[in-house]
Structure 1
Amino acid sequence: MGTITAGGIGSGLDVTGILDQIVAAERGPAESRLNLKEAKLQAELSAFGSIRSSVNTFQASLSKLKSATFFNSTNVNVSNPEVLSATTTSIAQAGNFSVEVKSLAQASSLASIAFTDIDDVIGSGTLTFDFGTTAAGFDGTAGTYSFTKNIERSSASVEIDNSNNTISGVRDAINQADIGVLATIVDNGSGFQLLLSSDQQGADNSLEIRVEEGGTAAENIDATGLSLLAFNSSVTSFSQTQTQAGIDAELTVNGLTVFRESNTVSGVINGVTLNLLKTDVGNPLQVNISNNNINEAQENISNFVTAYNELADTLGSLTEFQGADGQNGILLGDTTTRNILQQIRREFGSVIDNGSSFNGLSSIGIKTNQDGTLTLNGGDLSAALKLDFDSVAQLFYASGNPSTNEINFISNTASTADDIYRVSVSTLATQGQLTSQASAGLLIDSSNDTFSLVVDGISTGTITLAQTTYADQNSLAQEIENKVNAASSLLSAGVSTSVVYENGAFQINSSSYGDASNVSVLTENAFLGLTSNAVSSAGTNIVGSIGGGGTFGQGRELSGSGLVLEVTSNATGNVGSVAFTQGLASKLDSLLSQFLSTTGQLTSKTDSITDQIDDISVQRRDLNDRVTDIENRFRRQFTALDILLGTLQNTSNFLDQQLASLPTIGGNN
């Protein structure tokens, strides 16, 4: 059972008040010291939060300066934006193009017969979907059906059983299978039709449907049960109607006819994507691409200066000294902030080896003020960009300047050192090649006008040559090259071939180099020698060194010493060198990333402050425990004193009573 104390009853002392004063005297100085220390640490933590935010903003301003990509800017204007829109990437070049949109790509759609209700039972079995090209003009009621499978898309099946054998159940089963077919139910006013559509546009993505109901082959096409949905060459009486054929987009660009499976057309104009909106046959429109490099560069460099000045202002205000009577910055004397600013300013003074007089910030109109901020002279910058745009750009982004045009700089790593790297080649890269022994004839007719190839792993689809008698084998080789390179699949992938006739054989070469470069026969043509006897040889990768170190070769690209270079030289041995520099923006970006990393200066500093704040919480708990111990000790002492004084008071009262009862001299007692 707990003890109930009432201090001061025996002694008359205000024990509670005395204890409160003792506790306050013991707690006060220590608690004030902890409060002041925590307030200072919290202010420092907030200050470093502001610095981190400013560093992030400054780093973001570098994102459009640290890569050559962002110094290539273009504007695109379309004379009739209702017909098409256009966007550009950094590789687009200025130019004017005449574009005529003749047809839009559309997806194939099949419609079933009309049903009374969406819950009507249609039947059970397996629906198998194929994608390919359906004969032009065939709609399920007219024309002759034929279908050529798209070998790049696999067949897909959907099981229909008693759980999903209604019209709505079939719709849901197809959609849930996610096989590239979209199923919907349309109320046409007199019934409900199941509409099946390919999820991809283009002639080569039309639908063919086979049905397996588990009975005879005839039952799979008898237009009863699930076979109502059959749409293939075995069907004699079609229940499905092709309401919309799969069609490729057709357009001309400067008179060249182009076909694409989608209305988003890329690869025709380098770096430009055309979004086709509607046809306008006979009315070519103009697509104008203009250079916007200088304006874009000026804006990005100006943003860089502004962002740095904001960082410098933040650091300046936090480390400012206002004298003995002023309000000093919370981080006055802090080594971390001083180191950050010094390292950034050190990079500002660097000179880039780009072979130009525009090799430092001061040379393009950026000066350092006495307070450490930067000033940009817009006129000087504009003049420098107009005079030597590339050199100004190379001040900022990592660049490699080859000594010969047979070496192309591709990329680098963040740790690649500024240096001159010599390039040596011991083995040249080669192209994949297909050699076919052709017949001596020159007549191409309906019996020998088609074939298909696989180039660098991509199918050309069916290639159809013009039916005529060619002047010679070289003319036929040119026709093969033109038709193969016009294949939409190759155009989309940026793949092409060259074809020559030598020593009684056609040689079809991939335009790419390396072990991924190859050409093989997919569909044979004996007249052209495109059979299993045709010899297919894959390309080989380059072997060499960069800066004397080990490298990895892929195609014509050498990777080593932190560089990736393309070597187009046809010679072996020393083929040249590359002068590499990281560039100011690239260096600053790496430096700021170090500051912000989990092991960087800013993170280490804030972690240290957070640990100190956490330690103050521990010190507060220790202080509370110590003060509680002191209070309990004094309370015990005062309680003992109170009891003693109470006992003495009782004794005093007893003695007073005894003395009062004694006889007095001369008194009655």
Structure 2
Amino acid sequence: MTGISSLGVGSGMKLSDTLTALSSAEKQALVPISKQQSAATAKLSAYGTLKTAIQAFQTANTKLKDAALYTATSTTASSTAFSADTNGKALTGKYTIAVDHLAQSQTLTSAAKTDIKAAIGSDDASRTLKFVTAEGKEKSITLTKDQTSLSAIRDTINKSDAGISASLIKVSSTEYRLSLTSTATGTDHALKSLSVTGDDTLHSFIGFDAADKDHSGMTQSVEAQNASLTVNNVAIVSSSNTITDAVEGITLKLNDQTSGNQTLTVSSDTSKAKTAITEWVTAYNSLQDTMASLTKYTAVDAGADPDSKNGALLGDGTLRNIQTQLKSILANASGSAVYKTLSQAGITTDPTNGQLKLDATKLANALQVKPEAIRDMYTGDGKKTGVTTVLDTTLSTFLSSKGVLQGATDTISKKLNHLTEQYNTASKRIDDKIARYKTQFTNLDKMVSVLNNTSNYLTQQFDNTSSKK
């Protein structure tokens, strides 16, 4: 029997069109599942968008948790010989400062050598360099017989974390000296002694004794020195040029000696707190915009698909719960005895959209007059009270691995997996049914083709018989 190359060719019937129509009809059963998959995928993406917006607000909120922000100060120096940084504990006012001299590091210099790679020590297998500082700290370094040249000593010391920086100084076209400088300034960090055991030759070249400088191999080319200054005519000595504990809340950085007394002015600086609060309001409003977009409702004509117009989280309980908690915190979480609500400090809520409105003038006045009260309103006790404190705890709970967002995401993911299984099962069932239809149509096509051929043959035979008569 001749095979059928294309469905319907043998019979002349439109079996291929019929099979296509049947396939389309069967696949309509997949449409509801596919719609559910699309909705679940959109919801999963929406939760990701919501999480990102909450994280952005959390970042802005974290900045406001810094209690020092609200009592921040700025400094102005009358001389470039020093500068200053302040924290929230610095008191406003003027300070008279005079810098007599800066702290400096000790530097030791060796005798000159013409070959920086030539061994200086003996051929013994090893020797030990021992550093002892004026404050009594010790550090030992072992050198092999191949590590006694100027360059090798330099490299070994620099790798040892001994508190010493080693370098080579070219003093002429043919001569070099080894230079050792304390990495920290001040007399306490100067070397009291540098000795070499196990190699007298190297010791005589690199050894140093602060108590017997004339018989030392190394020469002290720069003497260690502490910084000396006065603040409001009070003498201060420091091993460092950065002084953190002389005046509470102020870090002084000495750059040079001063010519007589100079002035450091510490002033209140509300700009940092105002900027952080403004960014906080902006981040909160951005979060509200995101929520509004995700819960958007748009009326559609009867019979139209509402999912194409509405937000993916319209009517979602998780988002609604987050909104409710945030509104409650903003209304009730003040930790200040002066400012009971945000509105008293210039921040109100727009009842039409839930966004915050900032009265910049009112906020600036409050920060200028009562910065501590603004601080207490936001930070509270730093544990259980204060707007930002309570928000931080709540936002962290939202975003945790066991929080409501993760729970909602996990639920949707499970639903998507179940829908995928449903879709695959239904699709296979439809494919199997269409395959059976195709087999049946193919057999029908062949059968009709055979019957047609038989009919044509018989008709031809009858015609032949009739013509002979």
| Same fold flag (TM > 0.5) | yes
Partner of 1:345: 327
CA contact (8 A) 2:334 2:378 kept: no
Alignment of 1:67-466 (within 5 A): 67-81=66-80, 83-123=81-121, 125-133=126-134, 150-151=135-136, 153=137, 155-189=138-172, 190-207=174-191, 208-213=193-198, 220=200, 224-225=201-202, 227-232=204-209, 237-280=215-258, 282-293=259-270, 295-324=271-300, 327-350=309-332, 352=334, 354-356=336-338, 358-371=339-352, 372-385=354-367, 388-399=370-381, 413=383, 416=384
CA contact (8 A) 1:126 1:157 kept: no
The one-letter code sitting in structure 2 at the alignment partner of 1:68 is: A
Query: Shift in Å at residue 5 of structure 1?
Result: 8.2
Q: TM-score, normalised by structure 1?
A: 0.61
Instruction: Measure the CA separation in 1 of the matches of 2:335 and 2:83.
Output: 42
Instruction: Measure the CA separation in 1 of the matches of 2:335 and 2:140.
Output: 63
Q: Per the alignment, in what secondary structure is the counterpart of residue 378 of structure 2?
A: coil
Q: Per the alignment, in what secondary structure is the counterpart of residue 279 of structure 1?
A: coil
Instruction: Measure the CA separation in 2 of the matches of 1:12 and 1:398.
Output: 87
Q: Per the alignment, in what secondary structure is the counterpart of residue 140 of structure 2?
A: strand
- 1:23 equivalenced with 2:23 (yes/no): yes
Choose between structure 1 and 2 for higher RCO, CA contacts under 8 A separated by at least 6 residues. 2
Query: Shift in Å at residue 85 of structure 1?
Result: 1.7
CA contact (8 A) 2:4 2:10 kept: no
Larger relative strand fraction = 1
Query: Shift in Å at residue 630 of structure 1?
Result: 2.7
In the TM superposition, what whole-angstrom CA distance separates every residue of 1:522-581 from its partner, at most 9, and x where no partner exists?
A: xxxxxxxxxxxxxxxxxxxxxxxxxxxxxxxxxxxxxxxxxxxxxxxxxxxxxxxxxxxx
Gaps of 5+ in 1: 134-149, 215-219, 400-411, 417-581
Query: Shift in Å at residue 660 of structure 1?
Result: 7.1
Query: Shift in Å at residue 235 of structure 1?
Result: 8.1
Partner of 1:478: none
Instruction: Measure the CA separation in 1 of the matches of 2:213 and 2:232.
Output: 44
Instruction: Measure the CA separation in 1 of the matches of 2:363 and 2:468.
Output: 125
Instruction: Measure the CA separation in 1 of the matches of 2:84 and 2:368.
Output: 27
Instruction: Measure the CA separation in 1 of the matches of 2:205 and 2:349.
Output: 80
Query: Shift in Å at residue 11 of structure 1?
Result: 4.1
The 1:11/1:343 distance shift into structure 2, 3 A limit, reads same
The one-letter code sitting in structure 2 at the alignment partner of 1:120 is: A
Query: Shift in Å at residue 297 of structure 1?
Result: 4.2
Partner of 1:602: 405
Instruction: Measure the CA separation in 2 of the matches of 1:19 and 1:382.
Output: 76
The one-letter code sitting in structure 1 at the alignment partner of 2:100 is: K
Q: TM-score, normalised by structure 2?
A: 0.84
CA contact (8 A) 1:181 1:197 kept: yes
Alignment of 1:503-582 (within 5 A): 582=385
Instruction: Measure the CA separation in 1 of the matches of 2:357 and 2:380.
Output: 24
In the TM superposition, what whole-angstrom CA distance separates every residue of 1:349-408 from its partner, at most 9, and x where no partner exists?
A: 32757554x322233343332212233334444555556443343222223xxxxxxxxx
Instruction: Measure the CA separation in 1 of the matches of 2:129 and 2:69.
Output: 48
Q: Per the alignment, in what secondary structure is the counterpart of residue 283 of structure 1?
A: coil
Query: Shift in Å at residue 634 of structure 1?
Result: 2.6
In the TM superposition, what whole-angstrom CA distance separates every residue of 1:439-484 from its partner, at most 9, and x where no partner exists?
A: xxxxxxxxxxxxxxxxxxxxxxxxxxxxxxxxxxxxxxxxxxxxxx
Query: Shift in Å at residue 130 of structure 1?
Result: 2.2
The one-letter code sitting in structure 2 at the alignment partner of 1:132 is: T
In the TM superposition, what whole-angstrom CA distance separates every residue of 1:187-242 from its partner, at most 9, and x where no partner exists?
A: 2233222222222221111222111226xxxxx2xxx3464212236887433222
Q: Per the alignment, in what secondary structure is the counterpart of residue 98 of structure 2?
A: strand
CA contact (8 A) 1:100 1:283 kept: yes
The one-letter code sitting in structure 2 at the alignment partner of 1:360 is: T
CA contact (8 A) 2:196 2:203 kept: yes
In the TM superposition, what whole-angstrom CA distance separates every residue of 1:46-82 from its partner, at most 9, and x where no partner exists?
A: 433333233223333323433432222111111112x
Instruction: Measure the CA separation in 2 of the matches of 1:303 and 1:209.
Output: 57
The one-letter code sitting in structure 2 at the alignment partner of 1:310 is: S
Query: Shift in Å at residue 256 of structure 1?
Result: 1.9
The one-letter code sitting in structure 1 at the alignment partner of 2:22 is: I
Partner of 1:65: 64
How many equivalent pairs are there? Answer: 453
CA contact (8 A) 2:86 2:251 kept: yes
What is the root-mean-square deviation of aligned Cα atoms in Å? Answer: 3.2
In the TM superposition, what whole-angstrom CA distance separates every residue of 1:71-115 from its partner, at most 9, and x where no partner exists?
A: 22111111112x122111111111211122222222222222222
Instruction: Measure the CA separation in 1 of the matches of 2:358 and 2:467.
Output: 115
Q: Per the alignment, in what secondary structure is the counterpart of residue 177 of structure 2?
A: strand
Q: Per the alignment, in what secondary structure is the counterpart of residue 75 of structure 2?
A: strand
The 1:657/1:192 distance shift into structure 2, 3 A limit, reads farther
The one-letter code sitting in structure 2 at the alignment partner of 1:84 is: F
Instruction: Measure the CA separation in 2 of the matches of 1:654 and 1:162.
Output: 112
CA contact (8 A) 1:66 1:583 kept: no
The one-letter code sitting in structure 2 at the alignment partner of 1:336 is: T
Q: Per the alignment, in what secondary structure is the counterpart of residue 290 of structure 1?
A: strand
CA contact (8 A) 1:213 1:227 kept: no
In the TM superposition, what whole-angstrom CA distance separates every residue of 1:561-617 from its partner, at most 9, and x where no partner exists?
A: xxxxxxxxxxxxxxxxxxxxx122211221122112222222322333344444444
The 1:165/1:391 distance shift into structure 2, 3 A limit, reads closer
CA contact (8 A) 2:132 2:194 kept: no
Instruction: Measure the CA separation in 2 of the matches of 1:632 and 1:363.
Output: 74
